Every structure is written in C-alpha cells, then in structure tokens.
Amino acid sequence: MRKKLSILVNLLSLGSLLTTLIWYTFEDSYVEFYRPSPQRGAPKPSELCKGCKEAIDKVKKLYNQTWKKHEENCHRFRLQLRINCNGSNNAIVTQENTPVGSKIVFDKDRTVIPVTPELFNILIKENPFSKKRWDTCSVVGNGGILTNSGCGKTIDSTDFVIRCNLPPLENEFKSDVGMKTNLVTANPSILTKKYGSLMARRRAFVDSLHQYGNSLLLFPCFSFGAYRAVCQRAVYAIEDMEIPVQPIFTNPQYLQSMDKFWKSQGVNGHRPSTGAYMISLALELCETVHLYGFWPFSNHPYKLFPLTNHYYDNVPYDSRVHAMPDEFYYWVQLHNKGILKLHLEDCKSGQV
C-alpha cells in the first residue's frame, strides 16, 4: 500500500511538472514576436490562396489609385458619424460622464456593474478627444502587407497615429510601421492569451509598453464581464511601475452605437474589428485619414507573393467574429469617395 501511494505521489508530481512546462512553453510562444521570412518574388501556383487572385483583381478594378480628398463627402460622412455615434464626446468612459454610484452596462453580455470609488479612481477625468482636432491621422492596421513596405517614416509624419492591439514597433519592424504612437488599443483577449491574464509576473507586459511612449492606451474592457478584472490588473501594473502611457476605457454605449452604424452600412460581422472602431473615431477627429496595413488577403495586391496575416506573425483572425473582407471593401468605397486614403502600395520617401 505504501509503495502504491509513493508511485501515485510521484506520478502526480511529474504531471504537475509537465503542466508547468507546457504552460510556460505556451505562454512564451505568445510573448515573442518574430519577423516572418519576406518573399518578394512571383508566387508559385500553390502559394496563391483559393479565390485570392479573383478577389484581388476585383479590388484592383474598384480601387482608384489616383486619390483626391472630396471635402463635401468627408463633411457628410463625418456628420453621419457624429449624429449616430458622437465619438468626440462619447467614446471614452470618464469621471465626468460616469460618477460614483452610477452603473455601467456592458455592450455584449449586458453585465451591469456599479461605479465604485475604486473603479472611479482609474478613469480619466475628461474625454481626451472632446476639444481636439488633427489635420492628418494614420490608422495603422497590422496586416502582412506592411512587411518590407518602407512606410515607417510616412506613417510617423502624420499628426496623430493610431495603432491596434499592442503591435511590436521596434527593431526590424520600425522602418515599415514607424514608432510614433498617440493612441494604441489593448484588447483584453491579448492580455489573457499573451500575458496569462496578468495573474503572475507582469514585467513582460509592462516592458512591452515602453515603445508607445506617453500615448493613450485604450482598453475595451466593458464588453464582457469576464474581462473587467484583467483590465484593472493591467492599470494597476502601469501605475505601480510608473509607465508613462495613459490608460483609458472605451464607452460601451459608444461601441453599441458603432455596431448599429456599421450594420446599417452593410458590414455584417458579429462585431466590427478594432480597426473599424479606430477608423470611425479617426474620421470624426481628423481632417484627413490615412489607412496603412489594411489588406485581408494572403497575397500581395500587385506582385501576388504570399503574405503573413500580420507583419509580425501568421495567426489568422477569427472569421466567425469579424467580417474583414466586408470591412475592407467598405474602406475601398470610402477611399474612392475621397473620404479617407487607403494605402496599398509600398511607400516612397516623403510620400503621404
């Protein structure tokens, strides 16, 4: 009996050790970014994704390479967004619009929470966008089309730069995507998958934020109740380690109004992508909006060589949640109407 008990204890210890090793291997695989091997030559037939050439040909026929801003179209679309969404005033949860004792209703699972003094204290005092306007803005997606694009300086030359979901900017990525960041989003699912929900050591997460300087760090934390705790842990880590980014939270009422608006425009995914939310906000706040890194296909638009899904990895998006091709075709329409400029080419020196 004692011998069997000893064997059982050893097996349990071995299982615990294996679980720990698997966890750290899994966790580290999310933390490390890498530059996918660039391919700039003509693709082999096997490297063209199914239906991609036909879809790309369709885009190229629709896409107007000679772009000119259309002031009247810009004004009309901006007015539509302000009437339906009003991101200038409603995009962010603040101490002004969410006092202690009020309630926050989450936009997806309809969780309702009271605003406690503890929660109130981590909210920004007032909306950082309510009295601000910029001349030129770049919204930078993370598409593999940015690999070897040389667009870094062009992106950084605009007045306000928005980035999505904590992308890597330093070292080998800098020349293609730039470094300037005024606003960067942090989806709570990234905190969960990449940083273990911040339940243990938080140094890797905190160190990753230095590249964004003193930018606004936007958390959409009031969509699902399960994500609220990890968002608060992220804010506490930022405060405790005195990182200069400014955490802010997306207003769930704004996200709800944005969902309705994009469905009315024919974009029918389960919910808009982070990029769609940021483009919408930029169109309210900026006179001229440039899009970089938005390309939903697995091959380059002009030379057709294969692309990774992101410029730093090849993890696919969840097609059950986001309608990326629908969104992209809508950006092409706005480009052709002179409302925003969608960049699909590599960048030349000094080109904006």
Contact 291, 342 (CB under 8 A): yes
DSSP annotation of 118 reads H
Pick the closest to residue 40 from 187, 150, 128 (CA basis): 150
How far apart, in Å, are the Cα atoms of 186 and each of 42, 176, 222, 268? 36, 21, 13, 23
The strand pairing partners of 93, in sequence order, are 249
Direct distance between the N- and C-terminal alpha carbons of the chain, in angstroms, rounded to an integer: 77
Q: Indicate the burial class of 308 (C-beta count within 10 angstroms; 0-12, 13-18, 19 or more).
A: buried
Give strand pairing partners of 342: 291
Place of tokens 């970014």: 33
CB 290 within 8 A of CB 139: yes
Taking the C-alpha atoms of residue 166 and residue 146, their distance in angstroms, rounded to an integer, is 16
Q: How many CB atoms lie within 10 A of CB 312?
A: 22
Q: How far apart are CA 312 and CA 46, in angstroms?
A: 23
The pair phi, psi for residue 216, each rounded to 5°, is: -75, 135
Active-site residue set: 322
Q: Which tokens sit at 52?
A: 């991609």
- The span from the CA of 209 to the CA of 219, in Å, is 13
